[in-house]
Chains A and B, each alone.
Chain A
Amino acid sequence: MSQDEFRDALPGQVDFELPVAAPEKPLNGRRPGRRRAVPALNGHAESRGETRAGAAERKTKPEITPSADSSAELPTEPPTGPPAEPPTEPVAEPAPADPVDVWDQRVARGLAFLRRRLAGAYQVDEFGFDRELTDTVFYPMLRVLYQDWFRTEVFGIENVPDTGGGLMVGNHSGTFALDAMMLSVALRDRHPSDRHLRLLGADLVFRVPGLSELARKAGATVACNPDAERLMGNGELVGVFPEGFKGVGKLYADRYKLQRFGRGGFVSAALRTGTPIIPVAIVGAEEIYPMLADLKPLARLLGLPYFPVTPTFPWLGPLGLVPLPSKWMIQFCPPIPTAHLTEHADDPMVVYNLADQVRETIQTNLHTLLEKRPDPFGL
């Protein structure tokens, strides 16, 4: 028996028909999530493409093919999550004649969203946070980075309280503050009670036209004690990165070394409102734009806190803005209660000790996460 004959004799070689993935009919209008099982099937099918072609030819019901094709296209598009993408491309899709017309719903929802935006019929809170715009436009865009590009893993989400205020203190890194955005996506995606993270940003962010508008609409505000206390008093989750530009603008050689935590203003804000502090360790942001050098004179000329040189940045032009696909891990640590320390908000010793405790917690958790992730760019 030759090799070919043997292979043909094996069960499943000839009779076996590859199962065609059932066409997705998402009734609630949501796109199907990522299907983890698919890669194994693909690998199997690739090794014998001819059988697959044969199987496709022997299809008994030819009218299934177009819908199968359209369903195969779906997962290749980025999972933009909840509805209301621009309604232009979907129009070209053939309408599967089924009782619930998903595309029609999507188009209608997209148009209604556009109409609401153009008529100004939405609510904005006193900080300028536009919940509708954030949920429908900003988060789906960031989720592509979060899920597909950085493959973020989240640990300890149960440490984030379901209700009431909280102050999340994270390590800052990555030349461009993507870690803050990824942290808010992680919270939004993983937390059971749909919480938004209200970030505190440097006033430089609010000086730049365009950026200031986006930051306010995404719920950020200037890092100052009145704003932080007001947000926490309203029972919001506030995100702060006390390292500031010292953290974002550090060299790749100093990666995962926490910088100085300033004067601990964040601690006194939490103490005054009795809000628990949740340390957060973020691993992965250091590798997205590895900063090899800092051109200080140029930075001073441009009025920036630093001017980064990465392996790609000034050399490849706009291509240098594409972050490297490092593997991200986010660890939410158990909250540190502060309600019993409210009267010590102005005591520098208490504030300093608490800030130090938060700093130590984050540093320890960074090391633990780094052990879990031997290869910065691995899956």
Chain B
Amino acid sequence: MVTSLNAAPPRVVVVTGVSRFLGARVASRLAADPRIERVIGLDPHAPPPALATLLADVELIRADARAASGAIADLGAEAVVHLAVTSAPDPYAGGRAAMKEQNVIGTMQLLAAAQASGPLRKLVVRSSTAAYGASFKDPAVFTEDTEPRAVPRGSFARDILDIEGYVRGFRRRRPLASATVLRFAPLISASANTTLTRYFAQPIVPTVLGRDARLQFVHVDDALEVLHRSVVEDHPGTYNVAGSGVLMLSQAVRRAGRISVPLPEGTLSSVAALARNVGVGQIGLDQIDLFVHGRVVDTSRLVKEFGFTPRSTAAAFEDFIVAHRNGSSLTADRLTAAENAILEGIRRVRAAVALERVGKP
């Protein structure tokens, strides 16, 4: 595309969700880019101290999306990066109601403000591969054009469908602004803290009996790179962002050296629901849908348009394993040692038996 190369980077960028892991990193990276003059972080919550150092060069506005309409117009923002999408309800911050408020209502208001703002010419929205839903009739590999065949059960996946619906509305009403939707596979890295990383960090991992899901991950650094490029370059459209290759859930658990406990789907859902109510919940219906159906996407459109290949799923997961060694019990070293010990033992027994046979006659 010729236009995509000629488009100049936006001078003023508004980033939502900067109090969170991904938002703070994207904002600080954009602020470090000399082509961008101002980076404004928009978040109703103050960033935690760990992220505050990252955000030194970012102007912070503590406001929710309702107040955004004024801010985006007043600042003359040319690009909006919408990252305030929560993937799991936080029981300490309002639970599911607050999650939906932020994801769906927040997106609606932000996009309404963006649509009304004259100078705005770029919108980047974080979405998820959960947008493909979960159905037994699904094709094995989703391309960006695959329509979801069934409304997913998980709250996050339903929010994602709503968010993408608002982006479609935005595209219709502002056809000249470029809207980029990035459908991320689950993020993983040495330090990322998501529902899935907490899940794989447990020493004993519950899985669904009789199902082995195909999983894909994307490394946080690659996700940052793609987000950065989609702001400074011009890539309108919807893109899958995932590491190439596939790990089966059982394989991932084994590579992490964890022990999997397969439970029937019904038992797992009820146990997970019970655990959620107690407040120690890790697994929601989103995760159970993922573990039953698996989710693999085709990233050839991303690679072609961005000229960037994220590291493979296996490599991204390896980075996570290295950082989470302490919870693993069945490590590759121990397995090798066990293998050698058993082999030695068998050889010794066989040698003894052979010796006895020779001695007998």
Contact = CB atoms under 8 A, between A and B. Distances in A.
Interface string A204-215: 001111111100
B323 interface: no
Given A128-B214, A222-B138, A230-B141, A119 B248 contact: no
B139 A226 contact: yes
Interface residues of B, number: 45
Contacts of A97: 354
Interface in A96-126: 97, 103-104, 107-108, 111-112, 114-115, 117-122, 124-126
B335 A115 contact: yes
A227 B141 contact: yes
Interface of B: 136-141, 143, 146, 208-212, 214, 245-248, 250-255, 264-265, 294, 296, 330, 332, 335-336, 338-339, 342-343, 346-347, 349-351, 353-354, 357, 361
Interface in A191-225: 203, 206-213, 216-217, 221-222, 224
Nearest to B141: A126
Given A94-B353, A126-B140, A120 B146 contact: no
A217 B334 CA distance: 27
A124 B248 contact: yes
Contacts of B253: 120
B251 A128 contact: no
Contacts of A111: 339, 342-343
A87 interface: yes
A352 interface: no
17 contacts: A97-B354, A104-B347, A111-B342, A114-B339, A115-B335, A120-B250, A120-B252, A126-B246, A128-B294, A206-B136, A209-B265, A212-B211, A213-B212, A222-B136, A226-B141, A227-B141, A230-B140
B141 A120 contact: no
Closest 7 CB pairs of A and B: A209-B210, A120-B254, A210-B210, A120-B255, A226-B139, A120-B251, A115-B339
A125 B246 contact: yes
B354 A124 contact: no
A95 interface: yes
Q: How large is the interface on A (under 10, 10 to 19, 20 to 34, 35 or more residues)?
A: 35 or more
Contacts of B255: 119-121
A215 to B, nearest CB: 11
A91 interface: yes
Contacts of B357: 66, 94
Nearest to A123: B245
A217 B212 contact: yes
A167 to B, nearest CB: 17
A115 B137 CA distance: 34
A119 B247 contact: no
A62 B361 CA distance: 10
A63 B357 CA distance: 10
A118 B254 contact: yes
Contact of B137 (A122, A209, A224): A224
A313 interface: no
B343 A107 contact: yes
Contacts of B339: 111-112, 114-115
Given A94-B353, A216-B212, A222 B343 contact: no
Contact of A222 (B140, B248, B264): B140
Contacts of A95: 350-351, 353-354
Contacts of B265: 209
Given A124-B251, A212-B211, A227-B141, A119 B335 contact: yes
A162 B107 CA distance: 53
A127 interface: yes
Nearest to A114: B339
Contact of B210 (A119, A122, A212): A212
B139 A115 contact: no
Interface string A55-75: 000000011001000000000
B335 A127 contact: no
Contacts of A63: 361
Nearest to B208: A209
Given A126-B245, A209-B208, A213-B210, 14 more contacts: A94-B353, A104-B350, A111-B342, A112-B339, A118-B254, A119-B255, A119-B332, A128-B212, A203-B136, A209-B264, A209-B265, A210-B209, A216-B214, A222-B140
Q: Which of A66, A95, A126, A216 has the most CB of B within 10 A?
A: A126
Contacts of A226: 139, 141, 143, 146
Nearest to A204: B136
Nearest to B314: A123
Q: Which of B255, B335, B353 has the most CB of A within 10 A?
A: B335
A128 to B, nearest CB: 5
A119 B140 contact: no
A66 B354 CA distance: 12
B260 to A, nearest CB: 11
A126 B251 contact: no
Given A91-B346, A119-B254, A224 B139 contact: yes
B120 to A, nearest CB: 36
A101 B137 CA distance: 50
